[in-house]
Amino acid sequence: MLTIADLSVKSRDGKQLLSNVSLRLDKGECVGLTGASGAGKTTLIRTIMGTSGKQLLISGGDIQADGKSILEASYKERRAMCGRYFGFIPQNSMTSFFSNVKIGKQIIETYRLNLSMTAAEAHELAAEMLRLVNLSDTDRVMSSYPGQLSGGMLQRVAMSIVLGIKPTYLLADEPTSALDRENRALLTELLSGYKDGGILFISHDAEAIVSLCSSVCVMEHGRIVESKETGLLFRAPQHPWTKAFVNAAERSRRENAEWKQLR
Amino acid sequence: MNLTRGTVVFILRKILEVILTVLIVTVISFVLVQLSPVDAAEAYLQRNQTPITAETLEKTRCEMGLNEPLHVQYVNWLSKAVTGDFGRSFVNNKDVLQTEMSAFAFTIKIILLAGIFEAVLIILVGSLCYVCRNRISGHIISALCFAMISIPPFFLASEYLDIIVVKMGVGSVVGNAGIMRYLPAALSFVPGTAAFFAPLLATNITYQMSLDSADYARYRGLSEKRILFRYAMPAALISIIPSFFQMLALNLAGAIVIEQVFSIPGLGYLIMSGVTDRDPPVIHATILLLAICLSLFNISADVIRRIISHNTDLSMVHT
Amino acid sequence: METITVKDVSRTYYDTNGDLFKALDNVSLEWKSGESIAVMGESGSGKSTLARLIIGLEKPSSGKILFDGEDTSKWRGNRWRRCRTEIQAAFQDEKGTLSPSRSVMQNAEEALCNLTSMKKSERYETILRLMVQMGLSNNLLSVPVRALSGGEQRRLGLLRALAVRPKFLVLDEVTAGLDLITTESILDLLAEYKNDHGCSYMLITHDLSAASRLCSRMFEIEHGQIIHESVQ
Amino acid sequence: MKLSKKIISIAIPIIILISLSFGFIFKPNDPHKTHILEKYAAASETYPLGTDALGRCELSRLLEGGKATIGIVVLGAAIVLVLGTALGLLFARTNGRSGVLSDSFLNAITAIPPVAYLIIMIGIWGNSIPTMITALTVSLILRIIKLVMTLAEEEYRKAYARCAFASGASHFRILTVHILPVILPEIVQYLCLSCSDMILAISGFSFIGLNLGTNVIDWGYMLSEARTNFDMRPELLFFPILLIFISSLCFNILGRLIKRGKAKC
């Protein structure tokens, strides 16, 4: 169980980024996190991962993973948790992979660091995982540079890495926003199939939130303004931002349905 | 490296550019010599103390081939130059090609030696700059580097000679053999260039470390050192190489002044003597050789920049 | 101007390693005044190229674009300028469609300065009125353009085009990349403007709901060809 | 407060440069007049910085030197800025077609660094103020034209230029009103850095004997003079090199500030 209790974070120049954020994420559960851009969602990820060094100052609250507070853990321990214990799906995988290194090399490197296996085993696991995210031509994918693959394929590669390592908690930062319709549906399906750990799903994509998340938190200016079970939130939104979000989502869902019958 | 059609076209264009550069520069040098206030024939006669009269002038000018119209002179010179025959110097009658080659050897040694020292220093000071970028020491180093850029190399050279050699008697002004002949000249370039590139390397490393790819690597469990040495450092270094080559071209042009200070008979020395003695064959040949070297440095910078931008997107912070 | 006809227009480009790439493959469509049409397709299907051709930013490789029967491919700069008051455009390009070195006011009045002989005060009034209509606060006027948010920049681009009261308005992905709420507000604004001034839109988008709201006829374009036309 | 801090930090180098290039107006006495009796006089009322080997007033020579060294560079830079930018905008191809031949021709000319052109021209024509100015402007202007063309063409491909065209703006208006203010900082920055290189080059040439004509004083020449009797009066060497360093530093600072200013806005 990952519990974030009244977490408050300030940036180096004193701007308050998060103020008493509380959130619970259980294994096998998917919690949605949405809100206007700049509400502090990415800051939350950076704080959990603990990779921002001196840029972020924890001014209050705590993050407990399976009963142990990770804020007290040493820098080395926290970095060891990244990848192994906390998985991550980037928003724009076109810029997230090293563009001058072949995809296969980057996958194998991640596996070997997190699962301490030999190169051959890592290569085997990579191929198997790529097939799982139906990138069947594994050799071509692994021998090409990120620039030679489409956004959708790269996002699936990122997913395959997560499936290979099976982290206890998976943080997804707007994984579907840069994708077109089919890839979006495909990635949502892959995410729904991931039961080996809790997912913190950050997104604007109402459809994905409805189909994936059991409960949703809405953030505004670093504060959680509403946190409910998904169905309840869409039926009776309280906060003005949530209301507008739900109306817009509702209207676009209805129009898409209409348009589909027309064709 | 995949030789796509685009790259082949690119290389052909670059070769065309080298040829064009050389042609333009040699035309300029011909035109300028023609316009030059002092006539080569006159200077020749003066040197040999023969009285300058109308017909002696006419005779020497015929010998030198200066009486034909400019373009004919240029074509003759070019056709001979292509075969490597640059004619004989009007001053010491030695074959121009020989003097050029030996002069070229000197200058290139200085530039390459300087290049090696600069590369080493850039990596060391650059990484130092990066490591203590948030500390006071980091700011002091980059301020120092910034000031070093404004110190002229010829001053360092002259101070070396005045203080170290004359005052302290270390080394000697003329006649030290082997590498010691070029080392001081090469070293006088090093501070200025290294001071320019070291902070640049540090900024690039910081840029590479702040990219999305570095963040995602951290989330995938790669340690800070691993990202720095396997990805950020190489990427930052590679993205500096193009402008480093252009800086070598600048050093080549600067070498002309330095060679005078150390009186090393390199290309610069040759240009100066060719000009002061009004010796067109030497002037044209040296300018041709200088143009070739400079454009080769420049072209290699462009080619490297293209290779970088093609199969990788190591966009640099700024050149 | 009453109708804009696109008669089997094709447009080819050379891609990075020099091979020919057909962005548009003999496309034909009719756009009558008073009727709004949507051009739908995924990114890279050639719909933005069609927009650029209609506005005269590029010339078609083959085929013609006719304004009331007159072939535009031979038009020069100032002939285009004469028809600018009737056809205007707003683009999406996330790097900003507004001139970075000029203030919000200067950007807003760009079309008015070039196309109308309005005096400074008149222009100021029109811009102010439109700002209120667009929900932009007028103390933004002297702010540099880069200080505006994504939504505000899009609305300013729209305002600049609408200021000259065009009859035809080409909207190239004006809602793309915006969050749901800003998209909604821009679509409301366009719908409202259409009823008041009878302006006809060519909406270029991959967002089905926006198209179904504003347009009566929809064309689906894929790999440079119109594969489907439907009327709502 | 932030903006005024930037203005002050830009104003200081400019003031220093102006005072160095126009300082000769206030020179205490005639820099050419020699007073053999007062050779190496210490700093005094009449000679604020003492005198050199021939008893000439050091301070006036330094100020006179500033006129030559910086005056030429600033004058050359001004000509290059105005002419180069105008020609660059004129030649910028707005129809998107890039002529391979004209590109290669331009690359060919600009392959040679300005300093090399300087050497070729000075070497052959001998050094004098007009030669130096023509050599400086000709070699720099080629690079500025290429820079302005590339920048203008790059900006022209951007969305805001297309929008301006769609709003009925003519090519001329787009280039001057919309694009020029965006690319001007980068042009001025390049010029500042080139001026700094030029100062070092000019003083370098006169240091090795290619000075700006017999009666023209400049810091490089003063440096080479002072070098001969260096141990007698080391500060005679110190003053010129200090001024060369400061003027070159000021140009570098200006270049960096404008870039940082540009990067922000």
For residue A65, the cross-strand partners are A2, A68
pLDDT of residue B37: 67
Enter the tokens of residue C76.
């020069």
Mean pLDDT computed over C209-216: 83
Average pLDDT, chain B: 82
Summarize pLDDT for C12-48 with one digit per residue, the tens: 887 655 677 888 888 888 888 888 999 887 767 778 8
Residues of D with CB under 8 A from a CB of B: 100, 103-105, 107-109, 111-113, 115-117, 119-121, 123-126, 196-197, 200-201, 203-205, 207-210, 223, 227, 230-231, 241, 244-246, 248-249, 252, 256, 259
Mean pLDDT computed over D50-60: 79
pLDDT of residue A259: 61
pTM of the model: 0.82
In Å, how far is A42's CA from the nearest CA of chain C?
Answer: 17
Summarize pLDDT for B194-203 with one digit per residue, the tens: 999 998 899 9
Q: For residue D132, name the pLDDT band (cuts at 50, 70, 90).
A: confident
Instruction: List CB contacts (< 8 A) between C211 and chain A.
Output: 259
Average pLDDT, chain C: 83
Enter the tokens of residue C88.
């205007």
Chains B and A touch (3+ CB pairs under 8 A): yes
pLDDT of residue B319: 30
Do residues D67 and D22 lie in contact, with contact meaning Cβ atoms separated by under 8 Å?
Answer: yes
Instruction: List CB contacts (< 8 A) between D166 and chain C.
Output: 55-57, 84, 88-89, 91, 161
Out of D159, D168, D265, name the one closest to residue C84 (CB).
D168
Residues of B with CB under 8 A from a CB of A: 134, 211-213, 215-224, 231, 235, 311-314
Enter the tokens of residue B271.
């240009």
Enter the tokens of residue B166.
């004359």
Most confident of B255-259, C74-78, C134-138: B255-259
pLDDT of residue B245: 87
Mean pLDDT computed over D202-231: 81
Beta carbons of C97 and D165 less than 8 Å apart: no
Cβ within 8 Å of residue A239, ≥6 positions away: A218, A220, A225, A226
Mean pLDDT computed over B137-149: 90
In B, residues 5-64, which contact C (CB 8 Å cutoff)?
Answer: 5-6, 9
**How far are the Cα atoms of B116, B152, B201, B251, C106 from residue B119, in angstroms, in the given order?**
5, 19, 11, 14, 49
Q: For residue D251, name the pLDDT band (cuts at 50, 70, 90).
A: very high
Amino acid identity at C70: E
Identify the closest residue of chain C to D174 by CA–CA distance: C99
Out of D104, D113, D124, name the one closest to residue B32 (CB).
D124
Instruction: List CB contacts (< 8 A) between B153 and chain D.
Output: 200, 204
Do residues D80 and D144 lie in contact, with contact meaning Cβ atoms separated by under 8 Å?
Answer: yes
Q: For residue B318, name the pLDDT band (cuts at 50, 70, 90).
A: very low
Report the neighbours of D using a cutoff of 3 or more CB pairs below 8 angstroms: B, C
Distance CA B60, CA B145 (A): 54
If we measure between CA atoms, which residue out of A72, A70, A33, A8 comes closest to residue A225?
Answer: A33
Most confident of A169-173, B81-85, D54-58: A169-173
pLDDT of residue B176: 62
In C, residues 123-152, which contact A (CB 8 Å cutoff)?
Answer: none
What whole-number percentage of chain B has pLDDT above 70?
A: 92
Do residues D153 and D95 lie in contact, with contact meaning Cβ atoms separated by under 8 Å?
Answer: no
Distance of CA A136 to the CA centre of its chain: 24
Question: B51 in helix, strand or coil?
Answer: coil
Question: A89 in helix, strand or coil?
Answer: strand
In C, residues 14-33, which contact B (CB 8 Å cutoff)?
Answer: 16-18
CA atoms within 13 A on the CB side of B267: 28
For residue A4, the cross-strand partners are A23, A63
Chains B and C touch (3+ CB pairs under 8 A): yes
* Pairwise pLDDT comparison (B121 vs B166), residue with the higher score: B121
Q: For residue B120, name the pLDDT band (cuts at 50, 70, 90).
A: very high
pLDDT of residue C93: 63
Amino acid identity at C92: Q
Do residues A177 and A91 lie in contact, with contact meaning Cβ atoms separated by under 8 Å?
Answer: yes
In Å, how far is C147's CA from the nearest CA of chain D?
Answer: 10
Beta carbons of B313 and A147 less than 8 Å apart: yes
Mean pLDDT computed over C61-70: 87
Q: For residue D263, name the pLDDT band (cuts at 50, 70, 90).
A: very low
pLDDT of residue B317: 34
DSSP C199: -
Angle between helices C180-197 and C120-134 (to 10 degrees): 120
Summarize pLDDT for C119-152 with one digit per residue, the tens: 888 888 888 888 887 778 877 877 778 778 777 8
Q: Does residue D119 carry a pLDDT above 50?
A: yes
In Å, how far is C101's CA from the nearest CA of chain D?
Answer: 6
Residue A36, number of CB atoms within 10 A of its CB:
17
Distance CA C115, CA C161 (A): 11
pLDDT of residue B119: 92
User: Which site among D98, D101, D103, D112 would you substitute to test the B interface, given the most B Cβ atoms closer than 10 Å to its Cβ?
Assistant: D112
Beta carbons of D177 and C161 less than 8 Å apart: no
Distance CA C197, CA C213 (A): 17
DSSP chain D: -HHHHHHHHHHHHHHHHHHHHHGGGG-SS-TT---GGGTTPPS-SSSTT-B-TT--BHHHHHHHHHHHHHHHHHHHHHHIIIIIHHHHHHH--TTSPPPHHHHHHHHHHHHS-HHHHHHHHHHHH---HHHHHHHHHHHHHHHHHHHHHHHHHHHHTSHHHHHHHHTT--HHHIIIIIIHHHHHHHHHHHHHHHHHHHHHHHHHHHHTT--S-TT---HHHHHHHHHHTTTT-HHHHHHHHHHHHHHHHHHHHHHHHHHHHHHH-
Beta carbons of D249 and B147 less than 8 Å apart: yes
Task: Kindly give the confidence (pLDDT) of every residue in chain A, 263 residues in length, as a single tens digit, with 9 standing for 90 and above.
Answer: 889 999 898 888 888 888 888 989 988 889 999 887 767 888 888 888 888 777 888 888 889 988 888 888 888 888 888 888 899 999 888 889 988 888 999 999 999 999 889 999 999 999 999 998 888 888 989 988 888 888 888 888 999 999 899 999 999 988 887 777 778 888 888 888 888 889 999 988 788 888 889 999 988 888 888 888 888 888 888 888 888 888 877 877 776 676 666 55
Chains A and D touch (3+ CB pairs under 8 A): no
Q: How many residues does chain D have?
A: 265
Beta carbons of B220 and A147 less than 8 Å apart: no
Question: C118 in helix, strand or coil?
Answer: coil
E strand or H helix at C20: strand C20-32
pLDDT of residue D188: 92
Mean pLDDT computed over C66-90: 83
State the first-to-last Cα distance of chain A, in angstroms, to the nearest integer: 46
Beta carbons of C179 and A263 less than 8 Å apart: no
Angle between helices D58-79 and D129-156 (to 10 degrees): 40
* Pairwise pLDDT comparison (A116 vs C232), residue with the higher score: A116
Identify the closest residue of chain D to B35 by CA–CA distance: D125
Summarize pLDDT for D58-84 with one digit per residue, the tens: 888 888 888 888 888 888 899 999 999
E strand or H helix at C109: none
Q: For residue B316, name the pLDDT band (cuts at 50, 70, 90).
A: very low
